[in-house]
Amino acid sequence: GYYLYNVIPPMIDFIDDLTNWYIRRSRRRFWRQRDSDDDTDKLAAFATLHEVLVTFGKVIAPVLPFVTEEIYQQLVVAHRSGTGPTSIHHEDYPESRARLIDTSLEETMAAVRSAVGLGRSLRVANNLRIRQPLRTLTVVSRDPGMLAALESHADLIAEELNVKQVLSSSDETSLVTLHGKANFKSLGPRFGKDVKAVAAEIEDLSSDDLHRLLDGASIELSQGVITADDVVVTRRAQEGVVVDAEGPLSVALDCTLTPDLISEGVAREIVNRVQNERREQGLNVTDRIRLTWHSPSEVVARAFAGFGDYIDGEVLAVGLEQADTPQSSDVSIGDDTLTVSLAVAEAG
């Protein structure tokens, strides 16, 4: 038999990896037009996804017998030209193939996803929508291998977090100041009545001392030896920068908003609203439109003026026209009023 509480969590983690990372990151590969220069890459993306779905279906078939059977019938049996098993439950259970395991790649992607996750958390905590571009994200690690992995995928991190530039450093002291506080739960049983004196010494530790602890070293105090488990390390960032950390990785997000960044963020929101309006009106994804807009907001007007070409391209507009009166659809952005009207452009 098997214990579901041991089986299900890894499966859910894998589904999350597949859907929220691989498929989402590969959308442009799937959408490329046939016979384009990248047709081979598109076919490779589909072939990889097919292999994963079929193999993973065999893995979870004992847990989800009916869903996996339907997937197998659609992906395998319906397209088979020769003989073979007629049911997923007649297939051999998959075995691990060591030659396909790339530990280095897995570690690299784990570091990248950790940086992206920390960056997203900082955006949420500081009410910065992902459509609002920011100037920089700095990734900091004293682990040379992790830093190299992050640097090699800086463009990916920048795209995921909508930042203009990803910087890297092995020294976070230029971005933050480290402060230590006693972990009384760990220290109390060992130091008893002397714990207050130990706590005072911990608060006097320098950033270098705290870094040594985080790197796994121990430090001798007047009352005894302490390790990283005995200290709660907090980071105080420079003004305009917010910081988060996980294990050997810290990320610092520059939250300073310039007028250009604000305008670009509003332009992205406009694109989102117009795309939603296209769907609500039942337009085909290839339909080109004439977009008429009206807004009393200077913020919205600056976005159209500075990023009109970007808006045109994203919503398939053949031109933007500013109207003197409100239009039919209210697509306001926060406190900034915006109304638009869409009309399918005539071919030619």
253-267 per-position pLDDT tens digit: 999 999 999 999 999
pTM of the model: 0.79
Q: Do domains 4-99 and 260-344 have the same CATH topology?
A: no
Q: What is the pLDDT of residue 33?
A: 61
Q: What is the pLDDT of residue 1?
A: 60
Q: Is the pLDDT confidence value at 2 over 70?
A: no
Q: Report the distance separating Cα 52 and Cα 347, nearest Å.
A: 41
Name the residue ranges covered by the structural domains of the chain: 4-99, 103-173, 178-235, 260-344
What rounded mean pLDDT belongs to the chain?
Answer: 92
Q: What is the pLDDT of residue 54?
A: 97
52 band by pLDDT with thresholds 50, 70 and 90: very high
- Interacting residues of 88 by C-beta distance below 8 A, sequence separation 6+: 57, 58, 61, 68, 69, 71, 72, 76
Q: Is the pLDDT confidence value at 37 over 80?
A: no
Q: Report the distance separating Cα 301 and Cα 324, nearest Å.
A: 13
Q: Report the distance separating Cα 181 and Cα 123, nearest Å.
A: 26
Q: What is the pLDDT of residue 135?
A: 97
Q: Report the distance separating Cα 4 and Cα 12, nearest Å.
A: 12
Q: What is the pLDDT of residue 306?
A: 96
What does the radius of gyration of the chain's CA atoms come to, in whole angstroms? 27
The class (CATH top level) of 260-344 is alpha beta
Q: What is the pLDDT of residue 83?
A: 87
Q: Report the distance separating Cα 141 and Cα 172, nearest Å.
A: 8
Q: Is the pLDDT confidence value at 206 over 80?
A: yes
% pLDDT > 70, the chain: 97
Q: Report the distance separating Cα 45 and Cα 279, nearest Å.
A: 27
- Interacting residues of 333 by C-beta distance below 8 A, sequence separation 6+: 266, 269, 270, 273, 300
Q: What is the CATH number of domain 4-99?
A: 1.10.730.10
Q: Is 193 exposed, middle or buried (0-12, 13-18, 19+ CB in 10 A)?
A: exposed
